[in-house]
Amino acid sequence: MPLPADPSPALQSYAHPERLVTSDWLSGNLGRPGLAIVESDEDVLLYDTGHIPGAVKIDWHTDLNDAHVRDYI
């Protein structure tokens, strides 16, 4: 069963607001089946310092960089 989208008006100006949530929404939905939290920090070492419980790390330098055209996806 899909999780409900965050209805926050603050997210509506983004290109894909259905993919974003506020901290209030997240705190109310932590631990629900089907929720995946992806963390990508400016400084890739911050994940090891501390992160949201259950979050998976994406290193934007390597995981989101197209090696052939050197562009971020």
- Residue the block writes with tokens 């911050």: 46
Alpha helix ranges (H) inside the chain: 23-29, 46-49
Q: Percentage helix, strand, coil, to 5, in the chain?
A: 25, 10, 65
Q: What is the pLDDT of residues 24-44, one digit of tens each?
A: 999 999 989 999 998 888 888
What does the longest C-alpha to C-alpha distance in the chain come to?
41
Virtual CA dihedral for 1, 4, 31, 73, nearest 10 degrees?
100
pTM of structure = 0.69
Taking the chain (73 residues) in consecutive chunks of 10 residues, what is each chunk's mean pLDDT? 90 92 94 90 85 88 75 61
